[in-house]
Amino acid sequence: MQNYQRHDRSSDREANQMVFGIRAVIEAIDSGKEIESLFIQRGLGGSLVLELKALLKEHDLGFQQVPIEKLNRITRKNHQGVIAVISPITYQKIEDIVPEIYEKGEVPLFLMLDGVTDVRNFGAIARTAECSGVHAIIVPKKGSAEINPDAIKTSAGALYKIPVCRHEGLAKIGKFLIESGIQLVVSTEKTKDSIYDVDYTVPNCIIMGAEDTGVSDDLIRIADHLAKIPMFGEIGSLNVSVSAGVVLYEAIRQRVK
């Protein structure tokens, strides 16, 4: 029997579901559950653990090796050294979404988040993206904010409505978008060009990076446009969720016009 545990929250929908126990986690993966994060006790061995790790490799799923003390803090149940957190959403594939948008006769507008790890920033960005009509948000499998109750709450439920696509290697996805007739616009300070110089009426994917590291060089190299938000104050930078809103609504301004 699978072991499930929910945190006490005002809404079951806004609570992460945990699966603990090696066999239960294997069954969850086999049944197609979306794994948001996975913790395995450091030094844990045995045939079942090997089976689990082989399954993780097959499904290209990452995990964290942690001391048993961390697992015991997460749950007092018999976790057997393995705890998985099930995602509250179902991730989608951008390769499936792009043709659907074109078939509807719509002009694609995507938002790619490269290294945005703060869950509240992610939630706020998702809320703005849903309000502005973004077709999907694209994130990396590693180095992205966990979609948890805080992210859901900050998004005001937008993460239940807007497709989120999680992929390995954003540069590869960027090349796919280019081949699909979608231009890549990187929001970065590493340019003299303004966000107001870009044509957003054509198929677009706007790329935002982490506030400290920005967008990766792999994406900058293949981008069609590098564009920055004009700054006039002394601080010279914006929160990434605010920056995303500024760029997205410039795109909407052009499209509505």
Please name the residue that has the structure tokens 């960005």.
Answer: 125
Does 128 have pLDDT greater than 50? yes
Confidence at residue 149, expressed as pLDDT on a 0 to 100 scale: 86
**Model pLDDT, residue 16:** 59
Predicted local confidence at residue 1, as pLDDT: 34
Digit-coded pLDDT (tens) for 111-127: 999 999 999 999 999 99
For the record, the structure tokens of 210 come out as 């982490």
pLDDT digits (tens, 9 = 90+) for 149-190: 899 999 999 999 999 999 989 999 999 999 999 999 999 998
pLDDT band for position 61 (cuts 50, 70, 90) = confident
CB atoms within 10 A of CB 132: 17
Per-residue pLDDT of 200-221, as tens digits, reads: 999 999 999 988 889 999 999 9
Q: What is residue 168's predicted lDDT score, i.e. its pLDDT?
A: 87
Distance between CA atoms of residues 116 and 112, nearest Å: 10
Mean pLDDT estimate for the chain: 90
Phi, psi of 34 (to 5 degrees): -85, 120
Rounded to two decimals, what is the model's pTM? 0.84
Radius of gyration over alpha carbons of the chain, in Å?
Answer: 20
pLDDT for the residue numbered 155 = 96
Structure letter (DSSP) for residue 216: -
- In which order are the strands placed within the sheet that holds 35-41? 4-6, 17-20, 82-86, 35-41, 64-66
- In degrees, rounded to 5, the angle at the alpha carbon of residue 96 between the alpha carbons of residues 204 and 195 is 10
CA distance 205 to 27: 36
Alpha helices in the chain (DSSP H): 22-30, 47-58, 68-74, 94-103, 119-131, 149-154, 170-179, 217-222, 240-256
59 pLDDT band (50/70/90 cuts)? Answer: confident
